[in-house]
Structure formats: C-alpha cells, structure tokens
Amino acid sequence: MIRYRLYLFCFLILGCGGTEHQKPKEVIIVDTLVVDHSIDPQLNEPVIPKGAVTANFNADAVPFYAFVQKTDTLVGVTSIAFQKADVPSIAIHDAYGAKLSYLRFPEFDQDLLLITAKIKDTSFNKYYLYQYRNDSWQLVVNRFAIHKNHVTDSLQPIIVDPSNSNNMLRYYSVFDLDKKSKLGYTWRLLKESIPILKE
C-alpha cells in the first residue's frame, strides 16, 4: 500500500512538473526591402527628346537623332541640333517651330532630313530638305512652301523625279485669281522637277 502511494505520488509529481504549459512561440516575419545597387543598363540609355527623329543621316555610320533644340519666337529662329556633338546644328530663319522627319530614296546612300517649318503665315508649311555631306548640312533643293489646304496624308512634298534621278520632283502652292471662287482667288497645287543642288 505504501509502495502504491509512493508510485502514485511520484507519478503526480513527475506528471505535473513535466507538463509545464509553454506559451507558443511567436514567429515574427520582418519584410526586408532588398535594394539592388547595381547599375540598370536602361538608365545609361540616352533619353531621346520629344519629337526627335532617328535616321542614318551619315552613310555607313551609326544612326543618330535630330531634334528641335530651341525656338526663338522673338526673332523667328528655330534651331535643329543632333545627338552627335560633332554634327553641326541648323538654324532655320523666319521659323516659329518645326517638325522633323526623314526621307529615304534608293538614289541616295543616306537618309535625308526634312524640316517642316512653321512660319508667320499659318496657312502654309515651309519645307527644307537637307543632306549631310562633307561634315555639313547641305540643302538638296531650295526651300519651298505648300498651302495647308493642299497638305494630305498621301501627299509626299518632295521625291526623286522618277524620270530623272538628278532631279527632285517637288510640290508647291501658287496664288491664282479665280472669279469662280467666293474670295476671288484660290491656291493651286503645282509640281516641278528641279536639279539637285551641288556644292
């Protein structure tokens, strides 16, 4: 009997002492922001200015972009600059802004820069076509203007003359008296073939 009580006593002591209630451990998760300090290659890419146009203006060279750098509305001069620092800028006088594009023809071994300038008479666009040669910008033909009524999505202001590759075929607008018109005059769209300017 004493032995039985002793067993029971030991069992109760060991059982109660050994089953001490332990609080559940809290798991704390810390969100860690990992910052990669390595250089992002996209950050090294040049930011192309709004309205810039990229083309192969220099034969057998890496293409580069042209962009409207500045428009001085007080004196009416628009400056065209380029991605490459060694390429000279172009100053368009009597211009109050410009839109840039490029033209590609099989007859030329490089792309041509077409500048569509805004002038005081907002009814017209004035066009300047340049070729980069001998480290300078040269006019391919003299500047010309087209009335905005004649400008359409399908109209190409200037192309190489299909019948004479030494000439450019360009469109231009002329003033014409017209008694049938309510205004008494109208603007007519004409085209002409003119020789490519040489140095």
User: Which of 138, 141, 140, 170 lies closest to 155, judged by CA?
Assistant: 170
CA separation for the pair 189, 199 (Å, rounded): 29
User: Model confidence over 70-118: pLDDT tens digits?
Assistant: 999 999 999 999 999 999 999 999 999 999 999 999 999 999 999 999 9
User: Which of 116, 108, 167, 123 lies closest to 143, judged by CA?
Assistant: 116
CA separation for the pair 57, 104 (Å, rounded): 10
User: Which of 145, 139, 197, 138 lies closest to 170, judged by CA?
Assistant: 145
User: Model confidence over 157-177: pLDDT tens digits?
Assistant: 999 999 999 999 999 999 886
CA separation for the pair 110, 102 (Å, rounded): 10
